[in-house]
Amino acid sequence: MIRNRITDWALALVLPVLLLVAYDGWARTADDFFFPPLSEIGGTFADEWLFTRIPTDLLPSLVRMLAGFALAVLIGVALGTLLGFSRTLSTALDPVLQFLRALPPPALIPVSLLVFGAGDSAKVFLIALGAVWPVLLNTVDGVRGVDRTALDMARSYRVPAHARLTRLVLPAALPRIFAGARTALGIAIILMVVSELIGADNGVGYVVQLAQRGFDIPEMWAGTVLLGLLGFSANALFVAVERRVLHWHLAISGRATTGRASSAPRRRSRRTTPNPTEAAGARRP
């Protein structure tokens, strides 16, 4: 078992290491201005991001992203639950919501600039506005899909309405909410970076942009790598939380998320890392 694991990891690391070594070798000989060798990027990374720029740029980026994401989840779950209770209302609003989800969120950047200027609130607003739709739509679906027998059970045992909501409806909708939140997280990261590329005076995206303008190529790549690490860590953290919270769901369904593509044709249960928009995209009955 353990030996298997070790071989697994060793195998998984072979290719990335090879690629990095190959890149480094090529960059050293090619001496291309745009592609500095790893040692240079790594050196800049250590100088800039360990740890001088963490409080001045990384932290503001993270705070804006998390605030926008949290807002999107809160609003999305609250509104989605309300809508999910009324079949008529959610059917009536479906086209409008579908439109808003299909709208590419960066198109709203000018609106946020117009309304909020270039401050933090503009960025948080943009992130929340772009990320709220997948959460909202998935929550509506999750709440609408709560099993009627389970609801009957709770009613027949005189469980009061507020407890039916918090202990039955919301947990039952949680797998869908998580699927939506995962999409929302991806959107939040994108919008965090984009909003910092456009008008900002701090943040990781801003540093990358500044470095690019000043032709400080190693610094630009160092920041880009950091953004990649950020995306990876945020996703890994999300998956870890999801595994904990939805352990019951994963145990029943034998997979990591719900959605058409993973539910219908998947025959063997296996750990997978399906894509975020999937569940949100497959929501039509």
Chain residues 212-251 in contact with other proteins, contact rule CB under 8 A: 212, 215, 217, 220-221, 223-224, 227-228, 230-232, 234-236, 248-249, 251
Interface with other proteins (CB under 8 A), residue total: 118
Q: How far is the CB of 74 from other proteins (least distance, A)?
A: 21
CB of 68: closest distance to other proteins in angstroms?
14
- Residue 26, interface with other proteins (CB under 8 A)? no
Its sign, for the CA torsion 100, 260, 86, 67, is: negative
Taking the complex as a whole, the smallest distance from the CB of residue 141 to other proteins amounts, in Å, to 7
Tokens 């860590």 -> residue:
233
Q: Taking the CB of residue 31, how many other CB atoms lie within 10 A of it?
A: 10
- Closest CB to other proteins among residues 56, 166: 166
Is the link from the previous residue into 51 a cis peptide, with omega within 30 of 0?
A: yes
List the one residue from 5, 104, 244, 271 that touches other proteins (CB under 8 A): 104
CA 41 from chain centre, in angstroms, equals 27
Considering only residues 47-66, where is the footprint of other proteins by CB under 8 A? none
Please, what is the minimum distance in Å from the beta carbon of residue 200 to other proteins? 12
| Residue selected from 6, 30, 54, 153 as contacting other proteins according to rule CB under 8 A | 153
- Give min distance, CB of 225 to other proteins, in A: 9
Of 29 and 88, which CB lies nearer to other proteins in the complex structure?
Answer: 88
Region 175-204 residues binding other proteins, contact defined as CB under 8 A: 175-176, 186-187, 189-190, 193-194, 197-198
Can you tell me which of 3, 55, 107, 244 binds other proteins, judged by CB under 8 A?
107
Among 6, 74, 163, 240, binds other proteins (CB under 8 A): 163
* Residue 95, number of CB atoms within 10 A of its CB: 9
* Site for other proteins contains 95 (CB under 8 A): yes
d(CA 185, CA 135): 10
Name the minimum Å distance from CB 285 to other proteins.
4
CB of 257 to other proteins, least distance (A): 9
Options 6, 103, 240, 241; binder of other proteins; rule CB under 8 A? 103
